[in-house]
Structure 1
Amino acid sequence: MLRPRLFHFLFFLFFILNLSAQDKGKVMPFKKIILEIEKQHGVSFNYTEDNIANLELNPPKKSLSLEQKLEYLSKKTNLSFENIGNKFINIYKKDKVSNLICGYVFSVLDKKPIENANISFPDKTHIETDSEGYFEFSKQEKNTFIISHVGFTSKRITAGNTDSKNCIQIFLEPEITELQEIKANAILASGISKNTDGSLVIKPKKFGILPGLIEPDALQTMQQVPGVNSLDESVSSINVRGGTHDQNLFLWNGIRMFQTGHFFGLISVFNPNLAHTISIYKNGSSAFYGESVSSVVAISSTPETEEKNSFSAGINMINADVYAKYNLSEKSYIEISARKSITDYVETPTYKEYFNKVFQNTTITDFSQNQNVDYQSDKKFGFYDATLKYAQKIGLKDQIVLDLITIKDNLEVFQSASFYDINISENNILRQQNYGGNLSWKRNWNSFNTTKINVYNSTYELLGNQKTTYVNQIVVQENTVNNNGINLENNHILSPKFSFNNGYQFNEIGITNFEQVTNPDFYRKIKDVLRTHALILEGKYNDTISRIYLKTGIRINYIEKFKKYIAEPRFQFCYGISKSMNLELLGELKSQNTQQIIDLQKDYFGIEKRRWIVSNNTTIPIQKSRQLSLNLFYKKNDWLLDVENFYKKVKGITTSSQGFQNQLEFVRTTGDYEIWGTEMLVQKKINHFLTWFSYTYNENNYHFPNYEYPVFPNNFELTHTLSWAGIYEKNNFKIALGTKWSSGRPKTSPDVSRIDLTNPVLVYNRPNDSNLNIFSQVNLSSTYKWETADGIQYKLGISILNILNRRNEISEYYRISSLTNSIEEVDTFSLQRTPNVSFRVSF
């Protein structure tokens, strides 16, 4: 019994002596002691220098555990120690513990601390986190604060019952936005912005004003952008960097639209009071966009944020429209719009100018010009469009959206005349319509992964029916397109700087061309179907600190019918040379399996003579394009300079798709066009006044190797284009004055020296050997908005196109007159002076 007791006594004595020995060891600075502990145990201490200044004591024994050492230091000093997961240790003075709030800020993605996160308080003061993500502040009344950091979603924190013994651990989620970071606002007008990826974004509900426009028409607005033109003033013939209209991809809520214009091109089919976001890509488009070798115009009517119930109605001198948005519940809403022409009831001055512009030099006006006795005509024209959206959130992660759109133009013309006691009459019907539907499902699996699936269909029809009583003949022409498919897109956020997208798309397009003639009898019906599969991979790096943005992707198409693979790489690179200057490099390879051609200029009465066809991979090749552009963008002190140099080449074009009205009109061959040029925009804002000047230069040539003249200027070449606008916006009043000037488009002159005037046959010089006269136009527009006490808004607008009433020639060709048997020159002119007035009410 003695030995065990003796053993315990000796052990107790040894332990007391050991502790005593520690106290009597060498005294060390407190800071050196905790540095040794950090090194030994792999932890990090957080403290303020004032709390440990001039503090010295004997260090704890190295053999003790971390908790034992902290307990020892706490007893020997007036300090408290908080251990966070054996990784971070906070040091406070004991008399201040109850007056402090502390915390750590981490990224929820990789659990790493966020340095320099901003903690702001209601009294406008703020502090920042250190390298470990740690912060602390005196409790007082600052128990509510907001934590924010670039690239992360801000978070509001209330810490009323928190003290320093229980530091808050806060996790910030990366900020997820549908649109890329905006590089500059108010380009050309308020509501138009430029993104880091090079695209232009139009927000119709924030749109200001542009010369000649009183509504934010998407397709009219994009014609103000350098490099975008319409040689015949039509939204159905938009040329982007030398391309034809059918080479542009127009999407409305994911539905491909084959008809873009009402009134045969003078008005956009997209209701300007509906769209929430319009994105325009001249180059460097996402790999998720296929089937185009020129630009992309993507229109989305889905709001980025929740909106209140709203209603508006408006009228102008061409059409009337209504728009309504109603929240069915907290998780669902319905949105409708409808627009209809008023030409059924009244022929306004605007309508008359539009009618004269559209129907000049068509078979309809030719009929009246060729007959000069007892001529009578009865014309009926009208159009409408309507849309429906239904959105439903399911739980916290899912949303379903249904979009429907219908568009229709209808023209009926009955003409009769008596000519040398012979009665001649024609009854013409021309109908153009486009229906579309899209059902989409989106799921947010978590903060970093989302999936989108949408199924769509688009149906287009162009029908012409002509009855001529004199020869008892009926001519029917029909062009129909049925396009459907499914898109799958996955988005993954790997870090605040990196994201990765992948997806799959299936597309089926069937096109039918039908012609039937009686007396003499003729029947032809051709239907072609193409099915395409596409695999998409895309990655993005966006570092806002180093000002580097890089997005690369590849689209791999597989065409079933031809058993053919086509790879389409895309990239967008932007580097911020300084806060005011960016350098941008864009490039893409794209392909297209459909195009519009003209068989005969008089098809469909010469009004809408283009018909859609599908590639056969031989006589109608798959069109392929490659494009590269280098852009310098400068913005400082309300000055803006945007200079872009570009090169573009499109292979696989056909002569029938280019609208020739010379010796190539009946030639069928394939080739390419090559264009290079410079686009420049200079803009200055002075208080409420904004002015800008744009200039475009390009060299655009055809290459048809199998033709006798293999190289000659492109039909859509405008070597020089200049635009200027002055815009004043203050409060609710806006006014804009602007001018357009361009060198004339190419034309082909006849070789008079080789024509026998007694029996004339057209003989031409080299294709596009000369040019039309200069095009010049001055436009004006103004709007005024006011609101009543009960919240009803009214808006009045007025615009005048071509104020100076200049007679601008936009096309010229030659033909043999059936009446005089001579060669006559046929000129087509732009709109004459055209006024328009609009009135709108919203609440």
Structure 2
Amino acid sequence: MNKKLLCLIFYCLSIAFCNLTFCQEQQDEKSLVQILLDIEKQHDVKFSFETKTVETILISPLSNDLSIEQILDHLNRVTNLNFEMLNDRFIVITVKTALDILNKVQQLKEVVIINYLTKGISKTNDGSVKANTKAFDILPGLIEPDVLQIVQNLPGIMSVDERISNINVRGGTNDQNLILYEGIRMYQSGHFFGLISAFNPYLSENITISKNGTSAKFGNAVSSTIAIKNSDNLDNKTSAGIGGDMLSVDGYAKIPLSNKTELQLSARRSYTDLLVSKTYDSYFDRIFKDSELNTSSNINMLLAQDERFLFYDFNAKFLYDIDNTSKLRINIMSMSNDLDYNQVFTSADNDFQETKSKLNQTSYGASATYSKLINSDVNLSAQVYYSNYDLDAKNNNVTKNQLLTQENKVEDFGFRLDLSKTVSEDINFNSGYQFNDVAVTNFEDVTNPNYTSLVKEIIRTHALFGEIEWYSPSRETSIRLGSRISYFGKLSEFLIEPRFSINYKFLDYFRLEVLGELKSQSITQIIDLQQDFFGIEKRRWQLANGNDVPLITSEQASVGVSYNQNNLLVSIEGYYKGVNNITARSQGFQNQFQFTNDTGHYTVKGIDFLINKRFKDFSTWLSYTYSKNDYNFSEINSSTSFPNTIDLRHVVNSSLTYNGEKLKIGIGFNWHSGRPFTAPLALQVDSNSTIEYNTPNSSRLDDYFRTDISAIYKLKLSKGVNAEVGASIWNIFNQTNIINRFYTFNSANAIVEINNKSLKLTPNLSFRINF
């Protein structure tokens, strides 16, 4: 690791020394018309506007180092005009209407870093990261702007097992993330049982990711917040697209119904139940290799096996601008993973047996949002949503002559009311109320022996929140202070959760960022390795009950400094994160604690480092994260801490992208130190027919290394009709990476080592037409 750290330091210094010169000029205000002419010459763009809308406006001169995106963001804020890029060259300028104010009012937060990693990704003054898939270029290994794959390129965010349904943010588990789609809380986020994002990337235009310092309006999740929204403005023109890759086909459309209404549609369906590709083989092997689908009976001979797997998703959004001060948005969505498989066995007496099993994972939901601009500085909005998640399985086990039926269901109804007021040009106040009614049902029915269990639990939560945002007159300092007060009815618990974010610009090109928060969570996932939905989906949702499943709480603080000048970004951020009242059953132990039920906590201390340099059409970055993530359970290990099962001490991501007018290419390297596991003291069974284990998580797997590459080529088929061809290879060197290791017994009652392996070389091709 010393060599890698030296390379990291050398990489940073070599780029930093090339960019030490900077300057700043202070000038008097100039005519906006003259400034626009200067921008047109410098950035090879063309503004379209009516002369009378700009001829009387004076503003301060702009720095020559700003990108065109930064310039437009600044002009949108300091003038009463809209600056909208129609394409790479033409920009239209219009006067803001009352409805425009409704869309921007209370949006004091501004972008402080444009093209964070790559085009389309920006960082704001409150510490959150925004991704605009419409402006997105390319990332290594991706040929589509996959929402949950994009976020994994950010420092401190990754998946220890490559599944986007298991995103780990600064050492947290996936169930500790709040994922919102159009305001709907999602309890399922992936297709192919976690390898593909379940959100259509061609309508999901805006993604906001908060690792810390989260707004007080978000609650019931102790790790990150990922908010996904489709386009929220009327385009007043029809646009559509169709395409496909080696797993699925999809399409989307934006259809104006009138000058005040619009309908947005998207749909995707896999054809994996009809046609098998190399991509499907790699994905299937990754998910199902260690499941019952690849496990033969030890008393019966498997003669035939036939599996049928498919996934789909659908989304529709209705936009209605009622008048110049109010609007209505209605959204519905549905997604599903379906697996059916049949097996034919023959027993020792040559009797034939056929079994039929299935596993279905389905989510659907709806939301409606009404916004009203009460006056020029007060905005009121109300939202209601419903989310339903259902995991059903019927497992026919011929070895045990047993039929197991299982169901895990979550129903979430929510209502929120938001009131925002612009107190002055520099102060904004937000407040609101949120109500949630969450019900979780767990059902099991077993034959031989006969057993039935049905447990349904409900928690109703009331929350009040408020926060104030302040800008200094120079716009170089911003502070957001807020708090959330929650009451959990069933648990009879009140919690006060303060949040803050501070952003301060100094020495022209440096920024200091200080973030902190307290959070809580009443729903979590347990991992039952003995009743595990075929060994495929081991996690099931469960509500806090105040006894063996307590309310989870967390605290987090971070301090970061960044330097951004001459298309060079260097940032470093240190953080502390503590999560309390976690249960051992939620951690997926596969050692001596596998059957233990205990309550404890984990703490994470880490540093995120990023260096990013852009050269015209090229962008290169290197990120490094060091973190130490330790458990402490009251009964399991008393006062002795031991590494978290997802503790990755060192994580490195390095990428290079080229974004030409027609051709885009990206190559990336991913490396991290091995994941902890618990080795047995000896590969022999003791007198009690159990495995004697070493100290928990005292061993580590080999380091993980993966290289990805992708390319997209755009072409014009005819006027108004464009196409693009994409190709990618995940793990181009076919590196064998072990992502988990555990021990069990074989048919001879001997201890065997099981290694879960990552995706092997996985190619993918895509073709799209947009019109």
SS at 1:302's partner residue?
coil
Determine the structure 2 residue equivalent to 1:145.
Answer: 55
Determine the structure 2 residue equivalent to 1:638.
Answer: 567
Residue 789 (structure 1) shift = 3.5
Cα pair distance change 1:462/1:214, threshold 3 Å: same
Residue 708 (structure 1) shift = 3.4
Work out which of the residue numbers 671, 677, 699 in structure 2 matches 1:741: 671
SS at 1:492's partner residue?
strand
Residue 144 (structure 1) shift = 7.1
Deviations 1:40-85 (A, max 9, x none): xxxxxxxxxxxxxxxxxxxxxxxxxxxxxxxxxxxxxxxxxxxxxx
Determine the structure 2 residue equivalent to 1:488.
Answer: 417
Determine the structure 1 residue equivalent to 2:769.
Answer: 841
**1:393 partner amino acid:** D
The structure with the largest alpha-carbon Rg is 1
Do the aligned partners of 1:785 and 1:796 also contact (CA within 8 Å) in 2? yes
SS at 1:496's partner residue?
coil
Work out which of the residue numbers 76, 80, 87 in structure 2 matches 1:154: 80
More relative contact order in 1 or in 2 (CA 8 Å, sep 6+)? Answer: 2
Cα pair distance change 1:188/1:650, threshold 3 Å: same
Cα pair distance change 1:148/1:293, threshold 3 Å: farther
Residue 377 (structure 1) shift = 0.2
Determine the structure 1 residue equivalent to 2:326.
Answer: 398
**1:786 partner amino acid:** L
Cα pair distance change 1:373/1:618, threshold 3 Å: closer
Identity %: 39
Do the aligned partners of 1:777 and 1:806 also contact (CA within 8 Å) in 2? yes
User: 759-768 or 661-670: which moved more?
Assistant: 759-768
Residue 152 (structure 1) shift = 4.5
Determine the structure 1 residue equivalent to 2:344.
Answer: 416
The whole-number CA distance in structure 2 between the counterparts of 1:797 and 1:814 is: 41
Work out which of the residue numbers 580, 584, 603 in structure 1 matches 2:509: 580
Whether 1:726 and 2:656 are equivalent positions in the alignment is yes
Determine the structure 2 residue equivalent to 1:622.
Answer: 551
Whether 1:829 and 2:757 are equivalent positions in the alignment is yes
Whether 1:788 and 2:717 are equivalent positions in the alignment is yes
The whole-number CA distance in structure 2 between the counterparts of 1:374 and 1:509 is: 43
Determine the structure 2 residue equivalent to 1:264.
Answer: 193
Cα pair distance change 1:655/1:330, threshold 3 Å: same
Work out which of the residue numbers 595, 620, 623 in structure 2 matches 1:694: 623
**1:145 partner amino acid:** E
Whether 1:810 and 2:739 are equivalent positions in the alignment is yes
**1:381 partner amino acid:** F
Residue 121 (structure 1) shift = 4.8
The whole-number CA distance in structure 2 between the counterparts of 1:549 and 1:288 is: 19
Trace 1:647-666 onto structure 2 (pairs within 5 A). 647-666=576-595
Residue 178 (structure 1) shift = 4.1
Residue 190 (structure 1) shift = 1.1
Do the aligned partners of 2:234 and 2:261 also contact (CA within 8 Å) in 1? no
Residue 757 (structure 1) shift = 6.5
Do the aligned partners of 2:232 and 2:319 also contact (CA within 8 Å) in 1? no
Cα pair distance change 1:839/1:424, threshold 3 Å: same
**2:337 partner amino acid:** D
Do the aligned partners of 1:591 and 1:625 also contact (CA within 8 Å) in 2? yes
Q: CA RMSD in A?
A: 2.3
Residue 339 (structure 1) shift = 0.3
Do the aligned partners of 1:427 and 1:468 also contact (CA within 8 Å) in 2? no
SS at 2:425's partner residue?
coil
Cα pair distance change 1:352/1:372, threshold 3 Å: farther
Cα pair distance change 1:747/1:507, threshold 3 Å: same
Residue 467 (structure 1) shift = 2.2
Whether 1:377 and 2:305 are equivalent positions in the alignment is yes
Do the aligned partners of 2:106 and 2:420 also contact (CA within 8 Å) in 1? no
SS at 1:411's partner residue?
strand
**2:338 partner amino acid:** N
Residue 665 (structure 1) shift = 0.9
**2:80 partner amino acid:** S
The whole-number CA distance in structure 1 between the counterparts of 2:208 and 2:689 is: 51
Residue 395 (structure 1) shift = 1.9
Deviations 1:792-828 (A, max 9, x none): 01010000001110110000000011x2220000010
Residue 766 (structure 1) shift = 0.8
The whole-number CA distance in structure 2 between the counterparts of 1:473 and 1:321 is: 39
The whole-number CA distance in structure 2 between the counterparts of 1:774 and 1:307 is: 52
Whether 1:711 and 2:630 are equivalent positions in the alignment is no
Determine the structure 1 residue equivalent to 2:366.
Answer: 437
Structure 2 residues without counterparts, runs of 5 or longer: 1-26, 39-50, 60-73, 83-97
Residue 396 (structure 1) shift = 1.6
Trace 1:67-82 onto structure 2 (pairs within 5 A). none
Deviations 1:168-215 (A, max 9, x none): xxx999973647200111122211111111111111111111110111
Work out which of the residue numbers 376, 386, 395 in structure 1 matches 2:314: 386
The whole-number CA distance in structure 2 between the counterparts of 1:178 and 1:385 is: 32
Determine the structure 2 residue equivalent to 1:502.
Answer: 431
Determine the structure 2 residue equivalent to 1:211.
Answer: 140
**1:681 partner amino acid:** L
Cα pair distance change 1:177/1:780, threshold 3 Å: farther
The whole-number CA distance in structure 1 between the counterparts of 2:36 and 2:615 is: 31
Residue 155 (structure 1) shift = 6.0
Residue 305 (structure 1) shift = 6.4
Determine the structure 2 residue equivalent to 1:297.
Answer: 226
Cα pair distance change 1:144/1:425, threshold 3 Å: closer
The whole-number CA distance in structure 2 between the counterparts of 1:253 and 1:143 is: 35
**2:470 partner amino acid:** Y
Residue 426 (structure 1) shift = 3.1
The whole-number CA distance in structure 1 between the counterparts of 2:37 and 2:205 is: 37
Do the aligned partners of 1:311 and 1:323 also contact (CA within 8 Å) in 2? yes
The whole-number CA distance in structure 2 between the counterparts of 1:358 and 1:405 is: 25
Whether 1:335 and 2:264 are equivalent positions in the alignment is yes
**1:617 partner amino acid:** G
The whole-number CA distance in structure 1 between the counterparts of 2:602 and 2:161 is: 20
The whole-number CA distance in structure 1 between the counterparts of 2:265 and 2:770 is: 15
Trace 1:97-176 onto structure 2 (pairs within 5 A). 119-121=31-33, 145-147=55-57, 151-154=77-80, 176=105
Cα pair distance change 1:645/1:388, threshold 3 Å: same
Do the aligned partners of 2:106 and 2:428 also contact (CA within 8 Å) in 1? no
Do the aligned partners of 1:117 and 1:147 also contact (CA within 8 Å) in 2? no
SS at 2:768's partner residue?
strand
Determine the structure 2 residue equivalent to 1:249.
Answer: 178
Cα pair distance change 1:725/1:608, threshold 3 Å: same
Residue 618 (structure 1) shift = 2.0
**1:474 partner amino acid:** L
Cα pair distance change 1:688/1:397, threshold 3 Å: same
Provide TM-score, normalisation by structure 2.
Answer: 0.87
The whole-number CA distance in structure 1 between the counterparts of 2:37 and 2:370 is: 43
The whole-number CA distance in structure 2 between the counterparts of 1:804 and 1:395 is: 57
The whole-number CA distance in structure 2 between the counterparts of 1:520 and 1:247 is: 36
Cα pair distance change 1:320/1:685, threshold 3 Å: same
The whole-number CA distance in structure 2 between the counterparts of 1:670 and 1:598 is: 14
Cα pair distance change 1:124/1:337, threshold 3 Å: closer
Residue 760 (structure 1) shift = 4.3
Cα pair distance change 1:775/1:471, threshold 3 Å: closer
User: 380-389 or 472-481: which moved more?
Assistant: 472-481
The whole-number CA distance in structure 2 between the counterparts of 1:346 and 1:543 is: 60
The whole-number CA distance in structure 2 between the counterparts of 1:432 and 1:730 is: 40
Do the aligned partners of 2:441 and 2:455 also contact (CA within 8 Å) in 1? yes
Whether 1:532 and 2:442 are equivalent positions in the alignment is no
Do the aligned partners of 1:425 and 1:470 also contact (CA within 8 Å) in 2? no
The whole-number CA distance in structure 1 between the counterparts of 2:356 and 2:407 is: 17
**Number of equivalenced pairs:** 698
Cα pair distance change 1:123/1:478, threshold 3 Å: closer
The whole-number CA distance in structure 1 between the counterparts of 2:755 and 2:369 is: 48
The whole-number CA distance in structure 2 between the counterparts of 1:657 and 1:288 is: 27
**1:501 partner amino acid:** N
Determine the structure 2 residue equivalent to 1:69.
Answer: none
The whole-number CA distance in structure 1 between the counterparts of 2:160 and 2:462 is: 35
